[in-house]
Amino acid sequence: MGELSSFLAIEDDMSSQGMFLSQRKYIQDLLKEYKLVNRRPLKLPMDSDLKLTSNIGEPMSLSHIKIKLIGKLIYLTITRPNIAYIVHVLSQFMHQPTSVHFQTGIRVITYLVGSKQQGTLLTSKTNATLSAFYDSDWAGCPVTRRSSSNFCVLLGSSPISWKAKRQSVIARGSLEAEYRSMALTICKVMCLRQLLKDLGLHQLSITLICYDNQVALAIAANLVHRERTKHVDIDCHFIRDKAFEGVISPTYVYSNKHLVDIFTKMPSSLSTSDYTSQDGSSI
């Protein structure tokens, strides 16, 4: 069948640096569908001061076009982690959309006008080691006050898995939200480690679980079970067991090097160098 060039609207450009995955044609078709080709590109996919709720804006009739818009944006997060946060927020209202939700989705597409060339670089010049970054947005949902779990897993320096997901229950404290997010990240790491072993990589080193909160990492490594951590009892034991088994190692990183901030909140400004592009720049 020849060399891989595209698969399910995901384009593959092979080079000496590795495999660059993008969805340029998919974005171009999306711009044509919503008649946004000649729009001036925006610097941000969402207003950083906007808080989306279920009752903001005028209610709109539920139509296939509106649901289709969110579905297309969800598919774009396969190669565009920089829009994962806003798509995660928008998807919560896809069954009861309002005019503000729809216009926010249109703004995301308009943002893509100036960044069609961006994507994900899977570099060939890297070590076969896993590392993971995680974070939580405690009570970040203004409607349900549920927290979100966010993580990004790297194989060497290449991002291979990321997610922004609202937690199923309400966390009564920030520590509880953080440990749920950490436990979810470790579960994903275990799945990826098993997958890599099935592919022949049996000598995997300890996976670093990176976070920018020293208190949470200290509790994870502390054998003393304190009264204030009883509400995260199961997650604490799960995390400690995996650490003692040599599967993971909780590691502190500085906030300015914490990759998952783009999954937790909308930054006040973005530059094109913040994300992966074909010239080899990283997230």
In the chain, where the domains are located:
6-119, 127-252
More confident residue, 60 or 40: 40
The reported pLDDT for the residue numbered 279 is 44
Radius of gyration of the chain (CA): 20
Q: Where is average pLDDT lowest: 61-70, 118-127, 204-213?
A: 61-70
Residue 92 DSSP code: G
Confidence of residue 67 (pLDDT cuts 50, 70, 90): low
Q: List beta partners, residue 122.
A: 19
Residue 160 DSSP code: E
Asked if 203 contacts 129 with a C-beta cutoff of 8 angstroms, the reply is no
Closest CA to 132 of 205, 211, 196: 211
Q: List beta partners, residue 164.
A: 150
Q: What is the pTM of this model?
A: 0.79
The reported pLDDT for the residue numbered 275 is 40
Cα angle 54, 60, 62; round to 5: 95
The reported pLDDT for the residue numbered 264 is 75
The reported pLDDT for the residue numbered 272 is 35
* Percent of the chain surpassing pLDDT 70: 84
Let me know if domain 127-252 sits in CATH 3.30.1440.10. no
